[in-house]
Chain A
């Protein structure tokens, strides 16, 4: 029995390989995610051994060093500092071998030959001070000399490459302290964990202080080296009493653990996402394997019956099929693990693109990875082959004697009932979700439940729907003999057609649902920009970095600009709730920005007064007039709540007068400048004048409403593009499923094809027959997938309305594209099976035995 099973595997190699592919993809993503994570952990270990200070002293704050990350309108940047006078206190402590002040900050743009900042939008442009003690420095010189003096700079090697400069060349730098022209004295590489794909400039300490912090009396941190025999923890303990209480004293080990944790949290998200995708691929795989085995069993009915007739028991027949499946699963899992290595490398590359450059580390393939891969691969295959195996076992021995061998077609009624019940549940939960949208969580969950029920329900009903749909779709081509044959072929085995189409439907459902959400998000953002921004032009920092106030002066004096106002931002926290405080110039702001107040007023905000969006107010449970304790980077403070506004657009969170920010230690750096043209001024002329004025400031970009929308859209597009790419893979696998089904169908019907050829059907007609069948299956899959996708995209948009997706947009063009691609995919999927069918040997096909 075992040998028979293996031999039958060998007979359908190509088709089985196609079947395997779906399992391979799924397993590869699971294994790849594991390998990637495990390897990552390995490189974290290296973190702990890298050169670093034994203890780092920095300002304690709720905010991570280096400022808040960028996002539309979040130009909040404020680097926590410690006074340089503390260096003496530190050095005086017993057990300190040496101590150095350090500066690490963002906002130093390296200008290329064209005067534009180099590097991608996204990761920050960092600056650091050079730490002479190499045993504590994460930086090391790859070539040249350390920078020394205001006219010198060292660059990260990759930064130098993008700027097109080498040692000895001069380079222009745009820093918060003004523009510099410096000589490149050295190229540096950096150690582990600090790398994020952005640019890096290295100054000597005084230059870094002046350019990045605007003074020479503060550092961002102090790096401390322990005397021989003093442990890191011991040193930290000794430092504590000598320093003011609010400082953070962190050992090297703690810092490493901290970085490792942060990275792991960040990757945790990616892992979850990839695992979810892997599950989708495996789910699709179930359909393909089910189909393949059903067909293999159907083809071998006579052989199986013969086995039964000569005395094989039911369970032996069943086992022979399951053994076949298990071997297949084993092979798939094996290839999948290898594929996983490729996936993990791909992830590494991807992270590089997205900014995180990880140190090279050996691949870690833990036994767990292999065990999980095997269980998944074999498990999925066995589950999918179980029903076909049972059906194989139910072949009666007499089937060996019959000519017209066909499996007894099981009634579809039970499937129909299950499907109908699930659809009813789906409709009910969707209704209940939309009736009460106030509880966001509950509504989202209900729609989720509804979506899953609808998907499974649709899959259960697919054989019934399929017969009907393909019949209907085939109406126009029924008049034609070939069309009629193709339609009948599509209808003759509803389960098979349904399983093939379902695989495609799953991918397309997800893609179109995401399409609706993406389009709606963009439309909502566009609407918010339209509704809230009254300004004609907005000046924003490159990468949303804050920029120098002389930009404002230049813009203000531009002819044709009437209202010009700037905003500043600093991070703030209310309890655990981290956010941004935007400072506005009172009086001016309301002319370029339409905030709709839910309560209170935004007029006449005095220093210390603030308004906040209603969501945050609700979340924090604060009310008008309340004195709200907040934390700034510089320390604790208070804000008095004067009003709440409808959350909208680029401005969210806390808003106060600019003076409030200055009082809280905010620097004189602007996050945005809003410009309204003078009455009657021609916008293109104004834009040209602004462009001219701003040419001297490469760190900023002039945006109008359209380009602002574009820029925001691009950010969404990148995220959605990534999701589409992964889902597209699932769709491609589904098309391979169509290839597989058609190939097996052609093989199964080879006698019939031979007959058609004998009575005069041309090769071209045979090909057309297979292609039409394929297109019908693809269209059916597209219909189910796109309907579900559109319905649930719309429903999810509805429940997500309160988080800002206020507008529903159906991406009609995209949906049409999906249909066109489904048809094209159907045609392409049919090419090989159609070719095989048209080349069948007529005589062999009709030979009666």
Chain B
């Protein structure tokens, strides 16, 4: 089963002197119920790929599917609805609406849609992120790690087809990072979620089932069942290639 797919996806920013090819005819398939990590040097196009896959950004050429929906033909309204109902997001920072409590942030996409969350699933998610005693707190009253866990819970609460996370542990210490990653892992193992995560951290990548390596806007390699060591090894190859 394929949760998301890109077909010769290109993204070009600017033109003339400032022309940057962020993605160069990328073909990828993201397997459903898998934890996929995307790695690569800074500027290699990881975030761009993720934004294009998630319908946050338009593509220059090529096609993107989420489940069976092709995105390039969708209007802004339809894309918005798709993001609301089929996609979850976790960003590196500023994930939460400061005026809403943790629980309100978690149920936000469903509240916006005017839908009632599934209470059993919601309870499961809350217990898994371990935030039951913090639900009525505002983001400013939560630690960075707790905030990211709330963000993860929000991404999963509506049972989306796919969750995108861009460096979700980038701002966290190793312990909080491990909590967040552990939670993402469990949501794949126990709740059959699909997760795509951009990261710079080989250790974070080791939580994934599969790692895609990007360089200069192309997928240059992939690795299944990675370990920190194997990922680190592969990353070193980039540095030597560049040197």
Q: Judging by beta carbons under 8 Å apart, are A848 and B93 in contact?
A: yes
Q: Judging by beta carbons under 8 Å apart, are A761 and B94 in contact?
A: no
Contact of B80 among A485, A760, A848 (CB under 8 A): A760
Residue-wise interface mask of A (347-383) relative to B, using a CB-CB cutoff of 8 A (1 in contact, 0 not) = 0000000000000000000000000000000000000
A contact residues around B91 at 8 Å (CB) = 755, 758, 846, 848
Give the complex CA separation of A129 and B96 in angstroms: 86
A contact residues around B51 at 8 Å (CB) = 843
Give the Cβ gap from B88 to chain A, nearest Cβ, in Å.
Answer: 8
Q: Judging by beta carbons under 8 Å apart, are A765 and B112 in contact?
A: yes
Count of interface residues, chain B, beta-carbon cutoff 8 Å: 32
Give the complex CA separation of A480 and B113 in angstroms: 10
Contact of A846 among B77, B94, B112, B154 (CB under 8 A): B94
Give the complex CA separation of A376 and B201 in angstroms: 60
Contact of A760 among B57, B93, B112 (CB under 8 A): B112
Give the complex CA separation of A446 and B62 in angstroms: 77
Q: A484-B104, A843-B51, A843-B57 are in contact. Are A758 and B83 (CB under 8 A)?
A: yes
A contact residues around B108 at 8 Å (CB) = 481, 756, 759
Residue-wise interface mask of B (59-89) relative to A, using a CB-CB cutoff of 8 A (1 in contact, 0 not) = 0000000000000000011001101110101
Closest to A491 in B: B99
Q: Judging by beta carbons under 8 Å apart, are B99 and A485 in contact?
A: yes
Q: Judging by beta carbons under 8 Å apart, are B84 and A404 in contact?
A: no
Give the complex CA separation of A848 and B56 in angstroms: 15
Give the complex CA separation of A756 and B100 in angstroms: 12
**CB-contacts of A814-849 with B (<8 A):** 842-843, 846, 848
Q: Judging by beta carbons under 8 Å apart, are B100 and A761 in contact?
A: no
B contact residues around A489 at 8 Å (CB) = 99
Give the complex CA separation of A481 and B109 in angstroms: 9
Residue-wise interface mask of A (83-100) relative to B, using a CB-CB cutoff of 8 A (1 in contact, 0 not) = 000000000000000000
Contact of A752 among B80, B89, B92, B98 (CB under 8 A): B98
Give the complex CA separation of A404 and B98 in angstroms: 10
Give the complex CA separation of A481 and B100 in angstroms: 10
Give the Cβ gap from A813 to chain B, nearest Cβ, in Å.
Answer: 37
Q: Judging by beta carbons under 8 Å apart, are A760 and B83 in contact?
A: yes
B contact residues around A763 at 8 Å (CB) = 76-77, 80
Closest to B80 in A: A762
Q: Judging by beta carbons under 8 Å apart, are B56 and A842 in contact?
A: yes
Q: Judging by beta carbons under 8 Å apart, are A752 and B97 in contact?
A: yes
* In the assembled complex, A723 has its CB within 8 A of some CB on chain B: no
Give the complex CA separation of A752 and B171 in angstroms: 18
B contact residues around A296 at 8 Å (CB) = none
Q: Judging by beta carbons under 8 Å apart, are A488 and B100 in contact?
A: yes
Give the Cβ gap from B180 to chain A, nearest Cβ, in Å.
Answer: 16
B contact residues around A403 at 8 Å (CB) = 93, 171
* In the assembled complex, B136 has its CB within 8 A of some CB on chain A: no
Give the complex CA separation of A758 and B82 in angstroms: 10
Contact of A485 among B83, B97, B171 (CB under 8 A): B97
* In the assembled complex, A391 has its CB within 8 A of some CB on chain B: no
Give the complex CA separation of A151 and B53 in angstroms: 97
Residue-wise interface mask of A (403-436) relative to B, using a CB-CB cutoff of 8 A (1 in contact, 0 not) = 1100000000000000000000000000000000
* In the assembled complex, B203 has its CB within 8 A of some CB on chain A: no
* In the assembled complex, A302 has its CB within 8 A of some CB on chain B: no
* In the assembled complex, A243 has its CB within 8 A of some CB on chain B: no
* In the assembled complex, A233 has its CB within 8 A of some CB on chain B: no
Closest to B84 in A: A760
B contact residues around A758 at 8 Å (CB) = 56, 83, 89, 91
Give the complex CA separation of A848 and B51 in angstroms: 14
Give the Cβ gap from B26 to chain A, nearest Cβ, in Å.
Answer: 18
Majority secondary structure of chain A interface residues (helix, strand, loop or mixed):
helix
Give the Cβ gap from B126 to chain A, nearest Cβ, in Å.
Answer: 18
Residue pairs across A and B with CB atoms within 8 Å: the count is 76
A contact residues around B154 at 8 Å (CB) = 759
Give the complex CA separation of A752 and B100 in angstroms: 11
A contact residues around B8 at 8 Å (CB) = none
Give the Cβ gap from A265 to chain B, nearest Cβ, in Å.
Answer: 58
Q: Judging by beta carbons under 8 Å apart, are B84 and A761 in contact?
A: yes
Q: A481-B108, A481-B111, A842-B56 are in contact. Are A760 and B81 (CB under 8 A)?
A: yes
**CB-contacts of A731-762 with B (<8 A):** 751-752, 755-762
* In the assembled complex, B225 has its CB within 8 A of some CB on chain A: no
* In the assembled complex, B227 has its CB within 8 A of some CB on chain A: no
Give the complex CA separation of A760 and B84 in angstroms: 4
Closest to B110 in A: A481
Q: Judging by beta carbons under 8 Å apart, are B113 and A488 in contact?
A: no
* In the assembled complex, A639 has its CB within 8 A of some CB on chain B: no
A contact residues around B96 at 8 Å (CB) = 755
Closest to B164 in A: A758
* In the assembled complex, B128 has its CB within 8 A of some CB on chain A: no
* In the assembled complex, B95 has its CB within 8 A of some CB on chain A: yes
* In the assembled complex, B192 has its CB within 8 A of some CB on chain A: no
Give the complex CA separation of A834 and B95 in angstroms: 22
Q: Judging by beta carbons under 8 Å apart, are A755 and B77 in contact?
A: no
Q: Judging by beta carbons under 8 Å apart, are A760 and B99 in contact?
A: no
* In the assembled complex, A312 has its CB within 8 A of some CB on chain B: no
Q: Judging by beta carbons under 8 Å apart, are B93 and A759 in contact?
A: no
* In the assembled complex, A400 has its CB within 8 A of some CB on chain B: no
* In the assembled complex, A664 has its CB within 8 A of some CB on chain B: no
Give the complex CA separation of A759 and B158 in angstroms: 11
Contact of B94 among A482, A843, A848 (CB under 8 A): A848
Give the complex CA separation of A403 and B140 in angstroms: 12
* In the assembled complex, A113 has its CB within 8 A of some CB on chain B: no
Give the complex CA separation of A341 and B222 in angstroms: 74
Give the complex CA separation of A830 and B114 in angstroms: 24
Q: Judging by beta carbons under 8 Å apart, are A488 and B99 in contact?
A: yes
B contact residues around A759 at 8 Å (CB) = 83-84, 89, 108-109, 112, 154
Q: Judging by beta carbons under 8 Å apart, are B97 and A848 in contact?
A: no
Q: Judging by beta carbons under 8 Å apart, are A760 and B97 in contact?
A: no
Q: Judging by beta carbons under 8 Å apart, are B112 and A482 in contact?
A: yes
Residue-wise interface mask of B (104-132) relative to A, using a CB-CB cutoff of 8 A (1 in contact, 0 not) = 10001101111000000000000000000
Give the Cβ gap from B211 to chain A, nearest Cβ, in Å.
Answer: 23
B contact residues around A484 at 8 Å (CB) = 100, 104, 111
B contact residues around A482 at 8 Å (CB) = 112
Q: Judging by beta carbons under 8 Å apart, are B113 and A848 in contact?
A: no
**CB-contacts of A451-505 with B (<8 A):** 480-482, 484-485, 488-489, 491-492
Give the Cβ gap from B150 to chain A, nearest Cβ, in Å.
Answer: 13
Q: Judging by beta carbons under 8 Å apart, are B112 and A761 in contact?
A: yes
Give the complex CA separation of A760 and B109 in angstroms: 6
Q: Judging by beta carbons under 8 Å apart, are B99 and A755 in contact?
A: no
Give the Cβ gap from B132 to chain A, nearest Cβ, in Å.
Answer: 22
Q: Judging by beta carbons under 8 Å apart, are A492 and B112 in contact?
A: no
Q: Judging by beta carbons under 8 Å apart, are A761 and B80 in contact?
A: yes
Give the Cβ gap from A355 to chain B, nearest Cβ, in Å.
Answer: 57
Give the complex CA separation of A491 and B100 in angstroms: 12
A contact residues around B100 at 8 Å (CB) = 484-485, 488
Give the Cβ gap from A450 to chain B, nearest Cβ, in Å.
Answer: 37
Give the complex CA separation of A425 and B160 in angstroms: 60
Give the complex CA separation of A380 and B36 in angstroms: 59
Give the Cβ gap from B98 to chain A, nearest Cβ, in Å.
Answer: 7
Give the complex CA separation of A756 and B97 in angstroms: 8
Q: Which of A488, A492, A763 has the most B CB atoms < 10 Å from its CB?
A: A488
Closest to B139 in A: A404
Closest to A751 in B: B94
Give the complex CA separation of A367 and B226 in angstroms: 81
Contact of A843 among B56, B77, B80, B85 (CB under 8 A): B56
- What are 22 A-B residue pairs whose CB atoms fall within 8 Å in the complex? A403-B93, A480-B111, A480-B114, A484-B111, A491-B99, A752-B98, A755-B91, A755-B97, A756-B108, A757-B80, A758-B56, A758-B83, A759-B84, A759-B109, A759-B112, A760-B80, A763-B80, A765-B112, A842-B56, A846-B91, A846-B94, A848-B92
5 A-B pairs closest in CB distance: A760-B84, A481-B111, A488-B99, A760-B83, A762-B80
Chain A residues with a Cβ under 8 A of chain B: 403-404, 480-482, 484-485, 488-489, 491-492, 751-752, 755-763, 765, 842-843, 846, 848
Known pairs A403-B93, A759-B83, A759-B84; list 5 more (Cβ under 8 Å). Answer: A484-B104, A484-B111, A756-B112, A758-B89, A759-B112
